[in-house]
Chain A
Amino acid sequence: MQTLLDRAIGEFMREVYGIERWQDILDQMSQGLIDTGPDGAGYAGAMREAARRLAKPEADLFEDLGAWLARHEPIRRLLRFSGSNFRDFVMRLDELPDRAHMVVPELRMPSILIRQDDSNTVTIELTEAQAGWPPVLGGILRGMADDYGALGLILVEGDVITVRISDESFSEDRGFQLGDPYHAATASR
């Protein structure tokens, strides 16, 4: 199942970074020409190298990956199962690792602690997170705020993400209907 994760990263990188430049990094990695550090030869290590070549902070690239994931219809739909509105989604984020684990057992998503600071501010703390996770989750939150049509400020600092929801219905909700999306078009009403 690591394949699914690598495929997602690979697809994202080819799209935002370019097929040839991404392939160049993978080629150089496979020849041992790039020191990938603690991530080894995995795609996460290749992403770090890409960030270095782009002179872009790694966290920004990981955050873009999160937002990109949330834009993908199958993933967006799965995420929408976690809450009927953005506030609900944020408050129930602690269920996300278990949900993810059900689908991709090897994902090793860190556990998530949720704390409501005041009526509009939620603090999300990741425990024992590998370095890429907080910005990826930050990006997913950013993407899902758009999806629900909410206006929120999302701040990633270390393992802590702060979400400030300023407007629950700022723009149009992209909508979510239960039922089999593969058959929805033909389902009778």
Chain B
Amino acid sequence: MRIPEPQISFSTPTLQRLLPMHLLMAPDGEILGTGPTLRKVLGRKCRKIGEVLTQARATTGQSLIDEIATAATRGERLFLRLTEPPHLTLRGHAVAAAGSETAILINLGFGIGLTDAVSHAGLTDQDFAPAELAMELLFLHEANRAALSELSNFNQQLQAAREAAELQAHTDPLTGLTNRRGVELVLSAALKTFRDGKGAGFALAQLDLDRFKDVNDRLGHAAGDRVLCDVADILKEAIRSNDTAARVGGDEFLLILRDLNDAATLDRLACRIIRRIEERIPEKLPGCTVSASVGIVLSEHYRNLTEDRILHDADVALYRSKYGGRGRVTILSEVLPVEPALPAGTVAQDDADRLDRTDDDGISHRA
């Protein structure tokens, strides 16, 4: 036995509650009824569907009314656009209205344009049928935006903290000069520029304080630290902005001087630094005479230059200054033999300190 299909009919208020975004259309396009939410979205009263809606996708060349009728027959999706700004696109489907031979019932929705539609029509949660996910979509959209903006703030703070940490990692905390790790970076960059044949070559100056141990021994480490900071200030004042001054050990400093290969200029620069150190320190530390020895290497003397090589040779130049009587500058004018004649570290600090300064005005000595 076949159970007859139930015939369902709705009163207008029921239809409006059930489908707040519906439109009931006569075959000639006359609007017979609209749901309350769609009415808000359309924004004005109108008689014919063509006054407020148009085809969103120009495809078949059919009229709007024919296209709706075709979609109803074939069960296809409908895409309609508001004729007035902001020209929202609505999507939905159409069916032949039950109990009517000719009227077509269209039910529409917003799709992904929901947020714009809600802003445009000033919709509230009451405008959506309870079964719709519109509120959840709006909630998620907003939550997503809030979380993203919070995370992006957080990322910016992380970035700033990372940059600060990186700077600290390359900075000597006592003097604020670059530290040994920083020197490696600066030096490898300078070497790369040099190997690429760019720039005029660079100079590496190694500076070691003379009789610094006295200060520490007689006046304590705090006084020693003050001397180191003073020396750092003198170095910072003496170099140009794209040069680098670094503290690489207790009282050992390095200068990386870019695009500088003139021995006379370097000599003057180093002498000036030594003089300032000698002048500045005794005022503050009675009874202590601190000076500095400097060794300088020029990149232009080398064909295959490595970091280790140039650091080693600068060390050699420095100890020639130490042996030569301290308070002086040595600029290597030729490439040393690859087998170092004077390996680094062979001159103990005590030995160097026992050497007396012999040549008071000859602070410059060329090897």
Instruction: Report which A residues bind B (CB closer than 8 A).
Output: 1, 3-4, 7, 74-75, 77-78, 81, 84, 99, 102-104, 177-184, 187-189
Contact = CB atoms under 8 A, between A and B. Distances in A.
B46 interface: no
Given A78-B139, A81-B138, A182-B145, A188 B124 contact: no
For the complex of A and B, the 9 pairs showing the least CB-CB separation, nearest first, are A179-B119, A187-B119, A74-B146, A103-B143, A81-B139, A179-B118, A178-B118, A180-B115, A78-B143
Output the residue of A3, A74, A178 with the most chain B CB within 10 A.
A178
A102 B118 contact: no
Nearest to A176: B124
Contact of A178 (B138, B140, B145): B138
Contact of B140 (A77, A102, A104, A188): A102
Contact of A187 (B116, B140, B141, B150): B116
A75 B125 contact: no
Given A102-B140, A103-B140, A179-B122, 18 more contacts: A3-B154, A74-B142, A78-B143, A81-B135, A84-B124, A99-B139, A102-B143, A103-B143, A178-B124, A178-B125, A179-B118, A180-B116, A183-B115, A183-B119, A184-B119, A187-B116, A189-B120, A189-B122
12 contacts: A7-B150, A74-B149, A78-B139, A81-B135, A84-B124, A84-B125, A102-B140, A103-B143, A178-B119, A178-B123, A180-B119, A183-B115
A99 to B, nearest CB: 7
A179 B125 CA distance: 11
Interface string B125-150: 11000000001001111111111011
A180 B149 CA distance: 14
A189 B84 CA distance: 12
Contact of B126 (A84, A180, A184, A189): A84
Contact of B151 (A4, A81, A177, A180): A4
B86 interface: yes
Secondary structure class of chain A's binding surface, majority of residues? loop
Interface of B: 85-86, 115-116, 118-120, 122-126, 135, 138-147, 149-151, 154
Given A178-B124, A180-B119, A75 B146 contact: yes
Contacts of B138: 81, 178-179
Contacts of B122: 177, 179, 189
Given A3-B154, A84-B124, A178-B123, A103 B147 contact: yes
A37 to B, nearest CB: 27
A4 B152 CA distance: 11
Contacts of B154: 3, 7
B147 A188 contact: no
Nearest to A72: B146
Contacts of A78: 139, 142-143, 146
B227 to A, nearest CB: 32
B267 to A, nearest CB: 50
Contact of B120 (A177, A182, A188): A188
Nearest to A78: B143
A56 B125 CA distance: 41
A104 to B, nearest CB: 7
Contacts of A177: 122, 124
Contacts of A7: 150, 154
A137 to B, nearest CB: 18
B159 to A, nearest CB: 14
A183 B147 CA distance: 17
Contacts of B147: 1, 4, 103-104
A183 B142 CA distance: 11
Contacts of B135: 81
Contacts of A179: 115, 118-119, 122-123, 138
A188 B85 contact: yes
Contact of A77 (B86, B120, B142, B144): B142
A4 B119 contact: no
Contact of B141 (A75, A180, A184): A180
A78 B150 CA distance: 14
Nearest to B126: A84
A179 B154 CA distance: 26
A182 B141 CA distance: 11
Contacts of A178: 118-119, 123-125, 138
Contacts of A75: 146
A33 B118 CA distance: 53
Nearest to B86: A188
